[in-house]
Structure 1
Amino acid sequence: MKLLTLAIALFLIFACSKSNQSTMKDHDQKQLIQEYEAIKKIYSSFSCEATMEWTIIGLGNRACGGFQEFLAYPDNIDQEKFKQQILDYNDMEKEFNINYNIVSTCESILPPHRVICKDGKALLVYNNY
């Protein structure tokens, strides 16, 4: 009887622990999505003119290393604030990957070589080798 009680207690502890971790993961994932959407909203608000200077920055953190994608931002904005927002997001995603044992492909995404303006929007140009 004691063995059965112990088994049930261990099962309940394990089940609650898994449930709590799942809830935490969902919460953390929602935070990542919200931050990503906030960054993309700012990014989509940038207008592009041929005379503007742009800075390219990596966004996200693949579980296997490297960035998820690249963005460009114009030099005429509050660069430090936008850059810090991206760096904070990158750190959040790295921590998420570690905490929840996330795996990803280990392909390397090369950064773009330049930015061009098309229809008022910045387009990243990649060299195809």
Structure 2
Amino acid sequence: MFASNTFKFVALIFVLSIVFLAGCLSDDDNQVSSYNSELETLTQLKNDIETIAESSVCNETSTCKIIAFGSKPCGGPWSYLVYSTSINIQDFETKVEQYNQLESIFNAKWGVVSDCAVILQPKDVTCQNNVCVPVY
């Protein structure tokens, strides 16, 4: 009788250990899944924004604009985008702001690091062959 109870106790401890370990592994899997999902969302939004900027056309320099794009972990943008007012600028600038905020949150949440080099903002922008071009 004693051996039977000992066996049940050991079996119970074994099962609980497996459940506990599975829970730990599941958390790691969930974190990886969450990281990948968030990164995919950021990548898709980044691609959408770049596509919109590239689709803009200009007829004169006065229709060209510059916007800071991305959020480096050390601060500041990753780059600057040039675009023209031929697109819906309110929607575009809102998407860029949203992306910058989401990337900043992502960087803080996941401990992302980068170089702390300062990206030079273009001095101006000009319209060449119906495309806005940065001037450094």
1:69 equivalent in structure 2:
79
Q: 1:120 aligns with which of 118, 130, 135?
A: 130
Q: Establish whether residue 15 from structure 1 lines up as the match of residue 11 from structure 2.
A: no
Shift of 1:12: 2.8
Provide the alpha-carbon RMSD of the alignment: 2.0
TM, length-normalised to structure 2:
0.80
Q: 2:57 aligns with which of 35, 41, 47?
A: 47
TM, length-normalised to structure 1:
0.84
Q: 1:109 aligns with which of 109, 113, 119?
A: 119
Structure 2: state its 5+ residue gaps: 1-9
- Residue type matched to 1:96 in 2? F
Q: Establish whether residue 91 from structure 1 lines up as the match of residue 101 from structure 2.
A: yes
Q: Percent of pairs identical after alignment? A: 29
CA distance, structure 2, for counterparts of residue 68 and residue 10 of structure 1:
42
Structure 1: state its 5+ residue gaps: none
Shift of 1:9: 4.8
CA distance, structure 1, for counterparts of residue 73 and residue 17 of structure 2:
36
The 3 A distance-change label for structure 1 pair 30 and 5 is: same
CA distance, structure 2, for counterparts of residue 83 and residue 76 of structure 1:
13
CA deviation profile, 1:52-83 (whole Å, cap 9, x unmatched): 33221101001111101101232454322211
- SS of the equivalent of 1:52 reads helix
